Amino acid sequence: MSYPTESVMTTTQFSSESRGQYTAKAYAAAGAKSQLAPNTIPRRDPGEHDVQIEILFCGICHSDLHQVRNEWSAMPTVYPCVPGHEIVGRVTKVGSAVTKFKPGDIAAVGCMVDSDGDCEECQTGLEQFCPHGTLTYNSPDVHLGGVTYGGYSDSIVVKEHFVLRIPSNLNLAGAAPLLCAGITTYSPIRHWGVTKGKKVGVVGLGGLGHMAIKFAHALGANVVVFTTSPNKIEDALRLGADQVVISRNRDEMGKHVNSFDFILDTVSAEHDINSYLQLLRRDGNMTLVGAPDKPHAVAAFGLIFKRRSVSGSPIGGIAETQEMLDFCGKHNITADVEVIPIQEVNEAYERLLKSDVKYRFSIDMSSLKSQ
Ligand code: NAP
Ligand code: ZN
């Protein structure tokens, strides 16, 4: 992905007289220490390949919080920042070349809104690795200048290739988080061959973690959840875990040494990953999807003796995202959501920081109309 450079830092103002754009309502942060507050933003009028969507629900990802508070040194935030990349809505307009969508359809958008389309990554359906990709927010906006603005808004305009279909049996508020929390966990779970009989660990029971449990369980794995929150044990079992380990309890951790095929780490804050590496069996893999800014320390011998590996994984490509949504339709999987009005977004962020979400906030965007 390409991220903001000097050229975009100065272009967050826009001219209301420019042609080919309209004004949308949004919630934006003016700075790293600011609360999210009502604002207006420019959106381009749909071009021939574009789909315009009235946003119905937008999930709150912990990445929104990291970005709004400028916590990632690799991806500095350009303000005003309108986060949100778990978007479900209704199509209001389509360009003349659009074939998959028509006004009235339900449509969804995740973390990416564009890529170059012709690099090796795009050609193999791995747009998430495109060197010229555009993220849904805080990426340079080639159409309007400035940066892209995300889903905490009443509408968005996106190139058709990046617009997805939601199976009709899924609840829309619960489907929105599939667009990031869903694909970010589904993709590494599939890549690392999670199937029936594999022992799979999920570290952290938040938005990503609860989706990982659902997917690994649906694929027939033996799922063990590691949590710092004893009050989540019953929920973990209800979501599909076979066992729950309180990760701060060394004795409980010790019982699982050398036993896991795969562990997915979804933790958003600094923590010790070595205590999980020793739980992997020979050739086991631990994949990091959680993205705290501070680098992890890794004990070399924890990897060497059992040829274990640590890797990372970003979201997933467009084809795989559609595959994941169809898998959710078939297995009736959605996120467990607390639906909130946009006016409660700042309180929701504070609860995220306290690991107090059951298990994803989904913003009902109709609440923005009254703003
Ligand atoms: P979340 O809902 O806030 O869940 C994070 C969970 O991590 C918490 O519920 C908590 O689970 C655990 N946790 C939090 N602080 C901890 C600490 N100090 N020590 C140990 N465990 C702690 O967040 P999320 O939306 O799932 O996102 C998780 C991370 O993934 C974020 O860093 C986000 O930016 C990143 N992310 C990455 C990608 C990607 O493409 N790789 C995509 C989306 C999100 P327990 O209460 O169970 O301990
Ligand atoms: Zn996300």
**pLDDT at res. 371:** 81
Using the predicted structure, report yes or no on whether residue 1 has a pLDDT greater than 90: no
Could you read off the pLDDT of 23-70 as tens digits, one per residue?
Answer: 999 999 999 999 999 999 999 999 999 999 999 999 999 999 999 999
Count the residues in the chain. 371
d(CA 260, CA 248): 18
Which residues surround the ion ligand 2 when the cut-off is CB under 5 Å?
61, 63, 180
Q: Is the peptide bond before 359 cis (omega within 30 degrees of 0)?
A: yes
Q: How far is ligand 2, taken at its centre, from the CA of residue 349, in Å?
A: 14
Average pLDDT over residues 95-99: 98
Instruction: Evaluate whether 215 touches 239 at the Cβ level (below 8 Å).
Output: no
Of ligand 1's listed atoms, the one at least distance from the Cα of 312 is: 41
At 15, the pLDDT band (50, 70, 90 cuts) reads: very low
Distance from the alpha carbon of residue 209 to the mean position of ligand 1, in angstroms: 7
Handedness of CA 309, 185, 273, 72 (dihedral sign): positive
In 3D, which of 260, 277, 288, 282 has the Cα closest to residue 197? 260
Residue 19 pLDDT: 55
Residue 60: the pLDDT is: 98
Token readout for 7 is 């050229």
Amino acid at 150: G
Do the Cβ atoms of 205 and 235 come closer than 8 Å? yes
Average pLDDT of the residues in 274-296: 97
Residue 177's φ and ψ, nearest 5 degrees, are: -65, -15
pLDDT at 159: 98
Question: Which tokens sit at 205?
Answer: 């029971």
Average the pLDDT over 279-297 and give the result: 97
Note the pLDDT tens digit of each residue in 228-284: 999 999 999 999 999 999 999 999 999 999 999 999 999 999 999 999 999 999 999
Average pLDDT on 5-20 reads: 41
Report the first-to-last Cα separation within the chain, whole angstroms: 33
pLDDT the model gives residue 370: 86
pLDDT score, position 119:
98
Q: Stretch 353-368: mean pLDDT, rounded?
A: 97
Cα–Cα distances in angstroms (integers) from residue 356 to residues 184, 227, 229, 235, 256, in the given order: 21, 12, 9, 13, 27
Which residues line ligand 1 at a C-beta cut-off of 6 Å? Answer: 61-63, 66, 180-181, 184, 204-209, 227-229, 232, 266-269, 271, 289-291, 313-315, 352, 355, 357
- Sign of the CA dihedral running 186, 191, 195, 198: negative
Ligand 1, atom 34, lies closest to the CA of 63
Closest CA to ligand 1's atom 39: 314
In sequence order, which residues have a C-beta less than 8 Å from that of residue 370 and are 6 or more positions away?
A: none
Tell me: pLDDT of 332 over 80.
yes
- Neighbouring CB atoms inside 10 A of 334's CB total 24
Ligand 2 centre distance from Cα of residue 16 (Å): 31
If phi over 0 gives left and psi between -120 and 50 gives alpha, with beta otherwise, what is residue 315?
left
How far is 263 from 255, CA to CA, in rounded Å? 15
Which of helix, strand or coil describes residue 181? helix
Which residue do the tokens 């990445």 mark? 63
Q: What is the pLDDT of residue 2?
A: 38
pLDDT digits (tens, 9 = 90+) for 170-215: 999 999 999 999 999 999 999 999 999 999 999 999 999 999 999 9
Instruction: For residue 341, name the pLDDT band (cuts at 50, 70, 90).
Output: very high
Which residues contact residue 347 at a Cβ distance below 8 angstroms, ignoring those fewer than 6 apart? none
Mean pLDDT for all residues in the chain: 94
Tokens 């906006």 identify what position?
141
Q: Does the pLDDT at position 137 exceed 70?
A: yes
Calculate how far, in angstroms, residue 180's C-alpha sits from the geometric centre of ligand 2. 5
Whole-number pLDDT of residue 17? 39
* pLDDT at position 355 over 90: yes
